Amino acid sequence: MEIKELGHLVLYVRNLERSAAFYRDVLGWPQVFPDPADPEGLLGFPAAGFSSGRTHHELLLIEVGEDAAELPRGRRVGLYHFGLKVGDSDDELRAALERISQAGVRIAGASDHTVTHSLYIYDPDGNEIELYVDMPGVDWRNNPALIAAPIRPLRL
């Protein structure tokens, strides 16, 4: 067996409407299902799918209700964050920063990873998301050590 690519990510969310609006309206990720007028139409339970067009869906949100347990803080087993590529230049990352700042999104930090420049944010349920741009001219394929380069602060 050989993994060809990461296909999709599924997140439990407290409030589907709030989370779908965040991913769709704030981050600009196209929602592919359901029809907003029929939130339980396709799957029979409250869920929403999103795709950049690369595949049928890259993110699926499943509503579990407002009383769902909080994510534990600190070192724990499980998802740390997931990355969403928003472009190939700092100008595109600055535009993303402006958009999320205007929307009042909580920002966790920013890092220069040599191969990428990254902003770290939280979704409405506290899931951490890395918004990143690949840095032009960084040849990590021929120099894989660049992937593990020391992390530096990023100022946009």
pLDDT at 3: 86
Using the CB atoms, write b or e for 90-119: b if 16+ within 10 Å: beebeebbeebeeeebeeeebbbbbbbbbb
Do residues 125 and 132 make contact, with C-beta atoms less than 8 angstroms apart?
no
pLDDT at 90: 96
Least confident of 74-78, 84-88, 132-136, 145-149: 74-78
pLDDT at 2: 93
**Which CATH code, of 2.40.30.10, 3.30.360.10, 3.10.180.10, 3.40.50.620, is assigned to 81-153?**
3.10.180.10
pLDDT at 72: 82
Q: Decide if 9-63 and 81-153 have a common fold.
A: yes
Q: How far apart are CA 113 and CA 86, in angstroms?
A: 15
Q: How far apart are CA 143 and CA 149, in angstroms?
A: 11
pLDDT at 39: 56
- Amino acid identity for residue 95 in this structure: A
Q: Which residues contact 62 (CB under 8 A, 6 or more apart)?
A: 10, 11, 12, 13, 16, 45, 46, 47
Q: Which residues contact 96 (CB under 8 A, 6 or more apart)?
A: 86, 87, 119, 131
Q: Structure tokens of 98?
A: 């402006």
54 three-state secondary structure: coil
pLDDT at 36: 61
Asked if residue 152 has pLDDT above 90, the reply is: yes
Domain topology for 9-63: 2,3-Dihydroxybiphenyl 1,2-Dioxygenase; domain 1 (3.10.180)
Q: Where are the domains of the chain?
A: 9-63, 81-153
| Structure confidence by residue, pLDDT tens digits, 8-63 | 999 999 999 999 999 999 999 999 988 766 656 667 788 999 999 999 999 999 99
Looking at per-residue pLDDT, the higher value among 46 and 111 belongs to 111
Do residues 12 and 64 make contact, with C-beta atoms less than 8 angstroms apart?
yes
Asked if residue 138 has pLDDT above 90, the reply is: yes
Which is nearest to 73 in space by CA: 128, 113, 20? 128
Mean pLDDT of 123-136: 96
Model pTM?
Answer: 0.91
| Structure confidence by residue, pLDDT tens digits, 69-102 | 988 888 888 889 999 999 999 999 999 999 999 9
Asked if residue 135 has pLDDT above 70, the reply is: yes
